Structure 1
């Protein structure tokens, strides 16, 4: 029994362009309903690939900064969306970063201490 193989959007577009595969066959092998959906997904995949490459090129300091900014958004995101205009997000993040960094340092210090337990 022959099993139909599903292709990624990039492979499907390659076969369509290079091997003359029909649009109908391309869509059948990808599961998309229209060529536009296929192109949108392909563009998304290209963007995600580019972001992954940029992440790999980050220094440890840049990666730590990204994680700290993400922690600020997780902790104070609701406050920022409601109280801070978007044009001032960067300033507010800079103001809140020391709070996040102090909390992380306190958590690392607490995790490193052994608790004296009496048995």
Structure 2
């Protein structure tokens, strides 16, 4: 029994460009219906790979900053989209970052066990 293998978009485009494989054969080997869909998938794969490489190259401080910016978007995203023009997003995020960091620290401290125990002891006195 012959098992047909499906080519990835990158391999299919390589064979089409370098080896002169016909478009029909490329599409049949990849299960796509159009070359546009194939190219879009290839482009998305390339962008995802570049993002993954960039993320691996981040320092811990850069990674922490990105997490803080993401948390700011989660907390204040509706406010930003409704009241702040897109050209001013960066400035407004910079203004809101200290609030986000402080809020995260307060939540982390409130969830820690020693803090809860201290509150219980204080209430017992």
- Indicate whether the TM-score tops 0.5: yes
Q: How does 1:100-119 map to 2 (within 5 A)?
A: 100-114=100-114, 115-116=116-117
Using the alignment, how far apart are the partners of 1:74 and 1:6 within structure 2? 39
Q: Which residue of 2 aligns with 1:76?
A: 76
Using the alignment, how far apart are the partners of 1:84 and 1:17 within structure 2? 46
Which consecutive residues of structure 2, in runs of 5 or more, have no partner in the other structure?
121-125
Q: Is 1:60 aligned to 2:52, yes or no?
A: no
- Kindly report structure 1 stretches of 4+ aligned residues shifted beyond 6 Å: none
Which of structures 1 and 2 has the larger relative contact order (alpha carbons within 8 angstroms, sep 6+)?
1
For normalisation by structure 1, the TM-score amounts to: 0.87
Q: How does 1:1-119 map to 2 (within 5 A)?
A: 1-114=1-114, 115-116=116-117
Using the alignment, how far apart are the partners of 1:97 and 1:86 within structure 2? 17
For normalisation by structure 2, the TM-score amounts to: 0.83
Root mean square deviation of aligned Cα? 1.7
- Which protein is bigger by CA-based radius of gyration? 2
More helix by percentage: 2
Using the alignment, how far apart are the partners of 1:8 and 1:98 within structure 2? 45
> Number of residue pairs matched?
117
SS in 2 for 1:55: helix
Using the alignment, how far apart are the partners of 1:66 and 1:37 within structure 2? 32
